[in-house]
Chains A and B, each alone.
Chain A
Amino acid sequence: MANGEVCMKIIIDLKLCEGNERCVNAAPEVFELRDDEKSHLLVERPPERLRAKISLAARVCPRQAISIIED
């Protein structure tokens, strides 16, 4: 990868998401709550510097609806 960047892709399972907002609190740069009361991605392939925040978001999601895929 250019500049040694690893590419991560975020997926939210909208069937599981119930808008608990934990991800929005953990990584507001990446997740936002929309009018359907579900979390949506502001950016599908966020920069590496946000990895810690995104991992936290995935970990604290009460419904475990967030997955991080490396590709």
Chain B
Amino acid sequence: METQTASTQIAREPEFSLDTIDIISPDHYQKNGYPHAEWAYLRKHRPLFYVDRPRVDPFWAITKAADLKEISCQPRLWLNGPRLAVFMLDEGETGLPPEASPLKHLLNMDPPQHGEYRSILSQYFTPRSIRALEPEIANITAKLLDDLMDREQCDFVTEISSKIPVAVIAEMLGVPRPDWPKLFRWTNEIIGGGDPEFQSGKDSMETFAQARMEVFQYFTDLVEQRRKHPTSDVTSIIANAQVDGAPIPALELLSYLLVLVVAGNETTRNATSGGLLALLEHPEQFRRLKSDPTLIKSAVEEIVRWTSPVIQFARTAASDTILRGQKIRAGESVCLFYPSASRDEDVFEQPFKFDIGRNPNPHLSFGIGEHFCLGSNLARLELAVIFRELAKRLDYAELAGPVERLRSSFVGGIKHMQIRYKLKPAG
């Protein structure tokens, strides 16, 4: 019965009306997960699709890998500022969405400034620098799993997948252990502020603004300490860095740190949760990984392709240009849908098959070009350690309830995922 439904779904290509097709409302993502059927439809029928709907500034939706790549590799034509990503206002919500923030940081800077700021840290994120963190990541992971050994059920998201990245980024930033829970709450509120579960203010923007202020206050103190007594952590490196012969201005410095906190948390968390979900939904692939640990590298790539935690970023045309024969005017923006590009039929054989041995796997889930994910090597290492340990120690696991998704069309999140499991001791 199950199989029959699945195969009918693949055989039957859903029809959508371009007037109502929904790829941007946060409610849609919360209810249904990623709109893969909609993206597949657009890739085939309308690869450059103009969206003009209530409560969202108009944008061109980019769903093909080749277009995403072409745009990403021309950072002087396609600007990250002023529109970071596409956000939809809630019913009754007024004011400027977070995308319009005047604060400059790595995600909304453009050349040549972006390169100046990025190069402060890039040497700390190379594969070689990141490899040094492996023992620490392995320790954190092993300890978490040890603590869950005598239980049979847990919320995989709140108890495992969210704990590891926050610990790793906190460690890198030099945030003392007692403050880690605060960091965790702030990142939830900043990314998940559109979800009622994480709202502390009256709406998403108030929640976002409050959390941002708390992060800024916290790091103002830490930066001051590091300026007095420099250390080797990332906060100290940024605090003591120079751009154009002067220290980084306060707000830009704090925004830099904020982006690291958020980017270092949400994405890996969701690749971890989504990765386990994929392995539970494809038990033959989980068995394959358990019996052949050398597959871990390609398994991580496939998990990143499959889960593609960043849903979209936007670019704004600096001047009139032509894309796919269509004129795009200066000031108009495009929205790059990464999960769609990573399932493009023109790039991947059987894009809807979850295959942990997939090779080659030129997914675009980390982006490409000027803004290619700075933390990709860290994310890859974290995921490799986590899934290596899970493959070794997770004797058995199954979903113990429905998967609860985050109400966001920016980062694809799983909020809660109850699993029943049996864990083996390490070694």
Mark out the residues of chain A between 24 and 69 whose CB falls within 8 Å of any chain B CB in the assembled complex.
Answer: 33, 37, 59-60, 62-64
Smallest CB gap from A17: residue in B = B122
Decide: B126 and A19 in contact? CB cutoff 8 A. yes
**Assembly CA distance A19 to B122 (angstroms):** 9
Q: Write out the residue numbers on chain A whose beta carbons fall within 8 Å of the beta carbon of B128.
A: 19, 33, 37
B181 within 8 A of A: no
**Assembly CA distance A15 to B369 (angstroms):** 12
**Assembly CA distance A42 to B25 (angstroms):** 50
Pick the contact of B362: A16, A37, A60 (CB < 8 A).
A60
Q: Write out the residue numbers on chain A whose beta carbons fall within 8 Å of the beta carbon of B122.
A: 18-19
Q: Write out the residue numbers on chain A whose beta carbons fall within 8 Å of the beta carbon of B376.
A: 20, 62
Q: How extensive is the interface on chain B, given as a class?
A: 10 to 19
Evaluate whether A20 and B127 lie within 8 angstroms (CB atoms) in the complex, with A62-B376, A63-B369 already known: yes
Q: How extensive is the interface on chain A, given as a class?
A: 10 to 19
B73 within 8 A of A: yes
Give the interface centre of A16, A60, A64 by most chain B CB atoms within 10 Å: A64
Mark out the residues of chain B between 60 and 76 whose CB falls within 8 Å of any chain A CB in the assembled complex.
Answer: 73
Pick the contact of A20: B362, B367, B370, B377 (CB < 8 A).
B377
B319 within 8 A of A: no
Mark out the residues of chain A between 1 and 28 whose CB falls within 8 Å of any chain B CB in the assembled complex.
Answer: 15-16, 18-21
24 A-B residue contacts at CB 8 Å? A16-B370, A18-B122, A18-B123, A18-B126, A19-B126, A19-B127, A19-B128, A20-B376, A33-B128, A37-B126, A37-B128, A37-B129, A59-B362, A60-B362, A62-B366, A62-B367, A62-B368, A62-B376, A63-B368, A63-B369, A63-B370, A63-B372, A64-B73, A64-B369
Q: Which residues of B come within 8 Å of A, CB atoms?
A: 73, 115, 122-123, 125-129, 362, 366-370, 372-373, 376-377
Known: A19-B126, A19-B127, A62-B372. 11 other contacts (CB 8 A): A18-B122, A20-B376, A20-B377, A21-B127, A37-B123, A62-B369, A62-B373, A62-B376, A63-B369, A63-B372, A64-B369
